[in-house]
Structure 1
Amino acid sequence: MDQRRLILFLVFSFSLVMLWEGWIKHNNPQPAPQATAAAGAAATANADGSVPTPSASLGAGQSAVPGEQAATAAAPRVVVETDLLRAEVSALGGDIVRLELKQHRASGEADANFVLLDDGTTRHQYAAQSGLIGEGLPTHKTLFTLPASELSLKDGEDRVVLRLQAPEQNGLQVTKVMSFQRGSYLIDVAYEIRNGSDQAITPHAYFQLTRDGNPAEQVEAFGVTTFTGPAVFTDAGKFQKVHFEDIRDGDAKFVKTASDGWVAMVQHYFVSAWLPEQGTQREYFARSLGNNLYSAGLIMPVAAIAPGAEASVGTRLYAGPQEQDKLEGIAPGLDLVVDYGWLTVIAAPLFWVLSWFHSLTGNWGWAIILVTVAIKAVFFPLSAASYKSMAKMRVLGPRLQRMKELYGNDKAKMQQEMMNLYRTEKINPLGGCLPILVQIPVFIALYWVLLGSVEMRHAPWLGWIQDLSAKDPYFILPVIMGASMLIQMKLNPTPPDPIQAKVMMAMPIIFTFMFLWFPSGLVLYWVVNNVLSIAQQWQITRMIESGKAAGKSA
């Protein structure tokens, strides 16, 4: 019995430590990163004749030089608006320097759109940049000519196209073309190049995402934090996260060259990614630019353009939510940006079931409840075994107490008599532990599904719960959860050790306090699970106690 209680106590203690650590880190402010030296060099070829990465040759990104940051802020912009996006495109480089997602609200601001790409006026420095490598060709620091007015998707139109003209140099005429589509977070970015010079040119195109290293909507759970940073996917290397710290220290490891894959900037709930066509050779890179700025992207070759000839090069940019039912259809492996931590193999099927229930109910709150019921049904036999063991121990409580009084000073004799009693009553003192241990990975995986799915973000349930990803505004669900934990403790047999009994009784209070700040969708899951457990445990305990009473009467 002592071993079983020890295992249960360790399980609760582990959960408590992980939850407490997660709550502390989530609510503490992040330390400001130290600035590093600015990077940037002249746009020249390497000694071996290879083309340098644009982040090195062009000082990529929102430069660490304050004067260049000021130039970016002062450059004219044009607004492009669709049914899903509101993009601000700068004349400097033709870069998307601000992108609002109209179907998603900013946290804590009911009337403000969520800003993914950001010019620093909201929270981050974060831009989608591109350019060409070659003498006389425009880069992300070239000043393009903008249209006279903003562009918007009109009724009956499927797309809106923005054309930006670069200044002609050495007879080279370049137009940057950006196509925005209705009902899509995909943006086509291409360069039309006309060689009016008297020599053939062999340019390269680069597409990059430049961002500061500050976390976005970062959450930590059970010791694992949601990832913020670049990621590279190739058939050879699969999904590879690239941490900002490794980029800064020069230790970033990922596949550098491939003819497939994509490069992305990942954060909690949202992602931006450059998605070249499969079969096109490309080089991936990630660099630190200094002043807490990082750039990750790819370089693509352009076929030789003869004098008087024209050519084009381009790729797609996805900038939007991590909607799992759509990501996989956009590009192979893109659904892997949804970060479920180390239990993805369990969490992914759970999300599929959750989505199926949502398709039936149309509400994520009811879907969470139905998933909880389904999980409880799957583990019903294991839970029943656990509760039967607890109920039998509860019935034996008076006899165990008498043993303690008789053999309290002789622990060996006490242990021997207890084992004889278990053998006589056919009780496995560890019978209630295995079911609980087996279910822990499933519970943690579901926790991650509810925590990491953008579908839960700002999703209402009913009444006062209008955002399943945010805390309960009136703390009603955490209080109910704490009360349900207390009832469960009362149904369990009382630990013989007084100190252990006091610790177990304090658990509902401690967990209630920590769950006050947890997303309401997670608390809803715990409440429903506890209620179902109470009903099952009460029924089993009542049946066993009734059977014992009937046996004594007979």
Structure 2
Amino acid sequence: MDIRRGILWMIFIFSVFMVWTNWQAYNAPQVATTQANTNTQHPSAPTAANTSSAPVVASNTPAQASEKVQISTDVFNLTFDTLGAQIVRAELLQHHDAEDKTKPTVLLDNDKVLYTVQSGLVGPANLQKSYPKQDTLFTLVSTEKALTGETLDVVFRAESDGLEVTRTYTLHKSSYRITVKDDVKNTSTEVQNPSQYRQITRDSHEPAGGMSMAPTYTGWAIYSDAERFQKVTFDEINKNSAEYVKQAPDGWISFIQHFFVTAWIPEQGKERTYDIRKAGQNLYAISAVESLGSVAPGASVSNTATLWVGPQDQKALAEIDPTLDLVVDYGWLTFLAKPMFKLMSWLHSWIGNWGWTIVVLTVIIKLLLYPLSAASYRSMAKMKTVAPRMQALREQYGDDRQKLNAAMMEMYRTEKINPLGGCLPILLQIPVFLTLYRVLLASVEMRGAPWMGWITDLSVSDPYFILPIIMIATMFLQMKLNPTPPDPMQARIMMIMPLVFGVMMLWFPAGLVLYWVVNNILSIVQQWWITRSLTQAANEQILTHK
């Protein structure tokens, strides 16, 4: 088996991988394709944390006239609604929209897609209490609307049924982290037993900018130390088949989409109830509820959580919680993708350009695999020198396959040729290729990252198909450096393989094609050098014998 069969194996394995990936996408839950009237939908608050689950509770409170408050930082344009003191729109100023690069990415929204975060208080399930929650009208207390220093506090206040809530959103410079603190004061004459909930609400519309050939996960995720990282799809919620941790003293909740995540990280060490449920027509919610204990008349209690609304920045997420970077979806290749991304991040810290980082990474991988690939190329070079003898053996033994194979194996042994050597470099490239594919697909750091000239975004396909064309040319050149197959049919098939594989790469991320082009060029240089060295050695040996 030589490099041609190795390429066939690589194409076969890669094709199986893509079929499997798209099969997953095909069997994923179907998202809604019609626009829901999201402005009239009001998701309910969960029940208190003294039950094992949080069923949907219908809210009879009519929507009240409220005020929209615009707040800006260096990374955010946020819209708060005084109804519930909730964030109803979040524009990420440093990340362009997937379809219109002149506009920022909109993550939270209550217009085209209903996607908001809420928090509030609920009472025990057996008491009819209406504490301040997402359908309570709050008053804006703070006055500053733009961040000018390191932090900015946006403060709201409301009172209902004997409890006064002062909610402070603390925005941080150059960060998508938002600290949310609720100061709860008992203004009544009786003991109150409130529970604090944090919630993410979203409809099932698929986010814009997805890649049909490279589907990514869109859905809910929850983490606890006991059950670790658990995903819950819309389909599982609709079928009431979702399995996830219901109660834990730790963890966090989130909604994940390609490159971005919204997550609530409550204070750790406090027992809480988790719930994921359908909250209305094409509306879903995930919540974490924890008891604030008994609050005596005139007494106060505080509860703080961290809210992240932004990109899946692995370093920043891990600084908030060491497990939060699990939202970056590398799939079953995580054990390889994480070390590769760490290496690439380290290289990028020195190089400063993700395209050149991929080039340097390719060189490093090529150097690590050099001993194996060199042995393989030596075997292929020897195969090329004995090609006339192989053809003579085929003519000598004709259709007697047994004698032909025996004669060929004897020749391989005499000439110290490994017939399987040509496959090894190709097969070793497969896990590297697929791992880099997942890294480019899942790492937001690659989104919008330029290389040079016409490559302005390594995470999307080459707009002019220049890299795929170069890839096809270099694969043809590699084929020319190998012995021509004696079988005419096999020769024709091998000649069209670079074209087939190149066409497949037309719609893949430019960063992935860049890796393959650089790898091809390095392989050509290495193969040419080894072949040249062996030819010179053979010529010198002939001259010596003469």
TM beyond 0.5 = yes
Deviation for aligned residue 1:426? 1.4
Aligned residues: 533
Identify the match of residue 154 of structure 2 among 162, 166, 175. Answer: 162
Of residues 438, 458, 461, the one that matches 1:448 is: 438
- The residue aligned with 1:133 is 122
Higher mean displacement: 455-464 or 4-13: 4-13
Query: Aligned pair 1:461/2:451, yes or no?
Result: yes
- The answer (yes or no) to whether the contact 1:159–1:179 under 8 Å persists in 2 is yes
- 1:79 deviation in Å? 1.0
Aligned equivalent of 1:207, options 179, 198, 201: 198
1:151 maps onto 2:145 in alignment: yes
Q: Find the residue that maps to 2:139 and give its secondary structure.
A: coil
> Partner amino acid for 2:117?
A
Which has the larger displacement, 440-449 or 479-488?
A: 440-449
Aligned ranges for residues 58-207 of structure 1 at < 5 Å? 58=58, 75-121=66-112, 124-134=113-123, 135-146=129-140, 151-154=145-148, 157-166=149-158, 168-207=159-198
1:33-58 alpha-carbon deviations (Å, 9 max, x no partner)? 4999x999998979xx9347556125
Match of 2:314 in 1: 324
Displacement, 1:136?
A: 2.3
Deviation track 1:164-184 (CA, whole Å, cap 9, x = no partner) reads 232x33333223322212222
Contact 2:46 2:197 in 1 (8 A): no
Report the CA distance shift for 1:203/1:24 in structure 2 as closer, same or farther (over 3 A).
closer
Any stretches of 5+ residues in structure 1 without a counterpart? 60-64
**Other structure's SS at 1:530 match:** helix
Corresponding residue SS for 1:515: helix
C-alpha displacement of 1:163: 2.0
Q: Distance in 2 between matches of 1:345 and 1:24?
A: 23
Residues 131 and 140, structure 1, Cα contact 8 Å, conserved in 2: yes
Amino acid at match of 1:211: R
By how many angstroms is 1:516 displaced? Answer: 1.9
Report the AA paired with residue 191 of structure 2. Answer: A
Aligned position for 2:50? 50
Is the 8 Å Cα contact of residues 377 and 421 (structure 2) preserved in structure 1?
no
Distance 1:195 1:525, change over 3 A: same
SS at match of 1:151: coil
- 1:351 shift after superposition: 1.2
Which residue does the alignment assign to 2:331? 341
Q: 1:174 touches 1:192 (CA, 8 Å); kept in 2?
A: yes
Question: Secondary structure of the residue that 1:516 maps to in structure 2?
Answer: helix
CA positional deviation for 1:331: 0.7
Alignment of 1:289-300 (within 5 A): 289-300=279-290
Q: What SS does the corresponding residue of 1:210 show, helix, strand or coil? A: strand
Identity level (%): 46
2:126 aligned partner: none
Displacement of 1:21 after TM fit?
Answer: 7.6
Distance 1:291 1:505, change over 3 A: farther
Q: Distance in 2 between matches of 1:389 and 1:288?
A: 62
Contact 1:264 1:272 in 2 (8 A): yes
Q: Structure 1 residues 11 and 380 mapped into 2: Cα distance closer, same or farther (>3 Å)?
A: same
Contact 2:461 2:507 (8 Å CA) reproduced: yes
Contact residue 162 and residue 179 of structure 1 kept, 8 A:
yes
Secondary structure of 1:101's aligned partner = strand
Does the 8 Å contact 2:373/2:424 carry over to 1?
A: no
Does residue 475 in structure 1 map to residue 474 in structure 2? no
The alignment status of 1:380 with 2:385, answered yes or no, reads: no
Question: In the aligned structure 1, how far is the partner of 2:506 from the partner of 2:25?
Answer: 13
Q: 2:534 aligns with which of 525, 528, 544?
A: 544
Is the 1:19–1:514 contact (alpha carbons within 8 Å) kept by the matching residues of 2?
no
- How many angstroms apart in 1 are the aligned matches of 2:313 and 2:502? 31
Report the counterpart of residue 273 of structure 2 in structure 1: 283
Q: Deviations over 1:328-365 (max 9, x none)?
A: 11112011111112122221111111111111111111
Structure 1: distance between partners of 2:45 and 2:22: 47
Q: Which residue, out of 523, 528, 538, partners 1:533?
A: 523
More displaced 10-residue stretch of structure 1: 140-149 or 429-438: 140-149
Contact 2:217–2:329 under 8 Å retained in 1: yes
Structure 2 counterpart SS, 1:401: helix
Offset at residue 254 of structure 1 (A): 1.9
Question: Kindly tell me: are residues 240 and 21 of structure 1, through their superposed partners in 2, closer, same or farther at Cα, counting changes over 3 Å?
Answer: closer
Secondary structure at 2:160 match in 1: coil
Given that residues 196 and 289 in structure 2 are in contact (C-alpha distance below 8 angstroms), is that contact kept between their aligned partners in structure 1? Answer: yes
Residue 519 and residue 34 in structure 1: after superposition, are their counterparts in 2 closer, same or farther (change >3 A)?
closer
Q: How does 1:507-518 map to 2 (within 5 A)?
A: 507-518=497-508
Give the deviation of 1:203 after TM superposition.
0.8
Gaps of 5+ in 2: 124-128
Separation (CA, whole Å) in 1 of partners of 2:370 and 2:440: 22
Letter in structure 2 aligned against 1:370: V
Shift of the 458–305 alpha-carbon distance from structure 1 to 2, 3 Å rule, reads: same
Q: Pick closer, same or farther for the CA change 1:150–1:518 going to 2, 3 Å.
A: farther
Q: Distance in 2 between matches of 1:344 and 1:401?
A: 47
Residue 504 to residue 150, structure 1, CA distance change in 2 (3 Å) = farther
Change (3 A) 1:20 1:89: same
Within 1, Cα distance between the matches of 2:141 and 2:485?
76
1:169 partner letter:
S
1:92 Cα deviation (Å)? 2.5
Hey, what's the Cα distance between the residues in 1 that align with 2:99 and 2:424?
42
Cα displacement string for residues 222-277 of structure 1 (whole angstroms, at most 9, x for unaligned residues): xx843221111221122222222222222222222111111111122111111112
Shift of 1:529: 0.9
Q: Give the TM-score taking structure 1 as reference length.
A: 0.88
Post-superposition CA distance 1:476-507 (Å, at most 9, x none): 11111111111112222223333333222212
Q: Shift of residue 150 of structure 1? A: 7.1
Return the offset for 1:95.
1.6
Deviation at 1:25, TM superposition (A): 9.6
Following superposition of structure 1 onto structure 2, how do residues 247-266 of structure 1 map, counting pairs within 5 Å? 247-266=237-256
- Asked if the contact 1:97–1:127 (Cα under 8 Å) also holds between the matched residues in 2, the reply is yes
Aligned with residue 413 of structure 1, among 387, 393, 403: 403
Identify if the C-alpha distance between structure 1 residues 488 and 404 changes in structure 2 by more than 3 Å, giving closer, same or farther.
same
Alignment partner of 2:457: what SS? Answer: coil
What is the DSSP-based 3-state SS (H/G/I as helix, E as strand, rest coil) of the residue aligned with 1:152? coil
Match of 1:62 in 2: none
